[in-house]
A and B are shown apart, each in its own frame.
Chain A
Amino acid sequence: MTRRISRETLIKWAPLLVLLALVIFFTALNPTFFSLRNFARIAIAASPALMVAVGVTFIIVMGSIDLSMEGTVSLTAVSFAFIFAQLGGSLAGLGWIAIPLTLALGGLIGLLNGLVHVKLKIPSFMASLAMGFVGTGAAILLTGGDIVKVSDAAFRGLLTVRWLGFPLMVYVAAFFLLVGWFIQTHTTLGRNFYAVGGGEDLAHASGLNVTRVRVTGFALAGVFYAIAAVLVVARIGQAESVTGANFMFVSITSVVVGGVALWGGIGGVWNALVGVLIVNVIDNGMVVIGLPDFLQAGVLGLLVILAVVLSTDRKMLSFVK
């Protein structure tokens, strides 16, 4: 009995151990890796990706998948930049209204995504991928392929103003991570995600409105993608139709590496955090230790496989699809 518990505990903490091992490994090869300034650099790169990962964690916990993040992030980022400029282009003035509007838009896109998935009975994989394309297309329509700049000093303070060595955007991401954790553990909705992911038939038979849970889940994910979009714009000072590119790979990889099971019901936002940190530490560390660039993609792939092997409990799985 004790052995079984210790094995479960080990699996639970494995992603964190992988992260610590990576930090020790990179520090051993180049001590400058282990510095506050470098951790701040990793945190800046990780903040938008973390928001996307937290959003998609809810969906994956439900046993679905959401691939709309690239289009949603692009569209909300571009919309944010336009609304922000329209409202005076300053956070000090009316510009702040652009933020709640953007979050609402993200929620709306997610809601649509969920409705297409549930009402038209299209698998979430296909429905969300298609919605993602619609989002990217809309972003191209809005921008005509151009870049929209956001250079308001107050808004860019998210990147330039530091507190205890970390830019404000890192604290914003941390705050919304806590919000995600609160939803996951302290709300009915959060528990329902696990009920649906753990056994949808059972949840349905117990009288749970699975349809509603799913649609709400996608809407919630959309809000988190919109937060990511605002943070990306804060980070690079511009929005364009390719702003969301790469987030699909980074977020899904992070979530899985962090120990969230793709078949649903297992893991949560802390796993997403650890996963995002693992992926970003690898990204940063490979450059910092001077790994030749032609090896980096291959090494990233191998480390991802290794991290998944170590951090998910596959003993009870009879098959993998």
Chain B
Amino acid sequence: MSTFIKDFIERETISRRNFLFATAAGFGAAAVPGVFGGGTAAAALTDPAIAWSYRDRASAYWNSVVSGGEAFVESLGKPKSALVSLINEGSTEKSLSDIKAFLAKNNGNCAIACDANDSPNARPVVEAVQAAGAYISTIWNKTDDLHPWDFGDNYVAHMTWSDVKPAEETARILFEAMGGEGGVVHLGGIAANNPAAERLAGLKNALKDFPNIELLDAQPADWDTQKGAALMASFLTRYGDKIKGVHCANDNIAYGVIEALRAEGIEDMPIVAYDGNPEAVQMVMDGQLLATVFTNPHWGGGISAALAYHAAIGTFKPSEEPKEHREFYGPTILVTARDAAEFKAKYLDSVPAYDWKDFWGPSNGQIQY
């Protein structure tokens, strides 16, 4: 027998055995509290392991999410290391297998916060968590037909951010700075990404109220600084002086746009961005950017872990909560020159101490489809 076939059979046998173990463990974990507690506390866990499943550590955004998760576990009197990072590196397969491994390791005694990396992956993740009797809350990625209330208590909540309205607001600020007339270009995110589509849609909404503003071009810059710089340079060749304002899908693209303009000696172009990264907020204060939008990833990271944890220990019972507490929009804060300094002092220079039991205070209403 070739080693390939031998190894393959061995691997399959082992993984089937692991799967059976994990399932048994899951049922066990679900059954144990029933034996000892009984009644309404049937589903509650004691001291569940807490994990955050996310993309990578190479971006300010996810670092901020994780810092929120860590702040939450510290508020429980645990060390930062009590928050387990499950890093999927942009791989859907890894996202699911890491979560399954985490469930198996802790016999389902888990509270998990997760961005499933892509929308279809949210379903298998949630099903695995429910089968193990653990608790999960998700952000960003899930399909429209997947709802927390269809999974009893185990799928605690889903949070996402609607980018249409804030992108529309930044566009209005941009158009007013342009004096209500002239050409504008949009540098977008990866074309297939939902936030990229929403941010462009926001710009188009604002255009309806400004008949003298012309959208010259909208092309993807893939959320990337260098791509943003190259694309802006090409736009300058094609449209030249017709460009009177620039609408960027995120801060990173705006950094590239500013540098492409600097290379041409253009210093006073009105530009708006999105994400509210510290560098961008500084640029708003310095007048290089007109506005950016902050989505408070620190709070999002902390509250997602808190929701899963408190549902798990029985602080509240998700199935008794209204739908707007199970699927809701996260906060968005517009940062402009007027309030940038105040914003920086409040959110960036010192991280506010959040009440991690105020689950829905800063949220923005039920998700609309």
Contacts and interface: CB of A to CB of B under 8 A. Distances in A.
B149 to A, nearest CB: 35
Given A33-B237, A41-B234, A284-B233, A145 B62 contact: yes
Given A160-B265, A236-B229, A238-B225, A284 B259 contact: no
Nearest to B63: A145
A237 B279 CA distance: 12
Interface in A211-225: none
Interface string B262-288: 111100000000000101000000000
Interface string B295-332: 00000000000000000000000000000000000000
A246 B230 contact: no
A288 B237 contact: yes
A12 interface: no
Query: Could you tell me the dominant secondary structure of chain A's interface residues?
Result: helix
A240 B279 CA distance: 13
A147 B225 CA distance: 11
B324 to A, nearest CB: 33
A225 B220 CA distance: 27
B224 interface: yes
Nearest to B221: A293
B238 A146 contact: no
Interface in B227-255: 227, 229-231, 233-238, 240, 255
Interface in A285-299: 287-288, 290, 293-294
Contacts of A237: 255, 259, 262
Interface residues of B, number: 36
B263 A44 contact: yes
Nearest to B225: A236
Contacts of A293: 191, 218-220
Contacts of B260: 41
Interface in B27-74: 56-60, 62-63
A283 B234 CA distance: 9
A284 B237 contact: yes
B58 A45 contact: no
B226 interface: yes
Contacts of A147: 60, 255, 277, 279
Interface string B330-350: 000000000000000000000
A241 B62 CA distance: 14
A146 B231 contact: no
Contacts of A235: 226, 229, 259, 263
Interface in A122-152: 136, 140, 144-147, 149
B256 interface: yes
A285 to B, nearest CB: 8
Contacts of B234: 41, 283-284, 287-288
B256 A236 contact: yes
A41 B236 contact: yes
Contacts of A243: 226
Contact of A160 (B57, B62, B225, B262): B262
A45 B63 contact: no
Interface of B: 56-60, 62-63, 191, 217-220, 224-227, 229-231, 233-238, 240, 255-256, 259-260, 262-265, 277, 279
Given A38-B237, A232-B226, A287-B237, 10 more contacts: A41-B234, A41-B236, A146-B60, A236-B225, A237-B259, A242-B59, A242-B224, A284-B233, A293-B218, A293-B219
Which 3 A-B residue pairings sit nearest by Cβ, starting from the closest?
A: A287-B234, A41-B233, A38-B237
7 contacts: A145-B57, A147-B255, A147-B277, A235-B259, A242-B58, A245-B224, A293-B218
Interface of A: 30, 32-33, 35, 37-38, 41, 44-45, 136, 140, 144-147, 149, 156, 159-160, 167, 232, 235-238, 240-243, 245-246, 283-284, 287-288, 290, 293-294
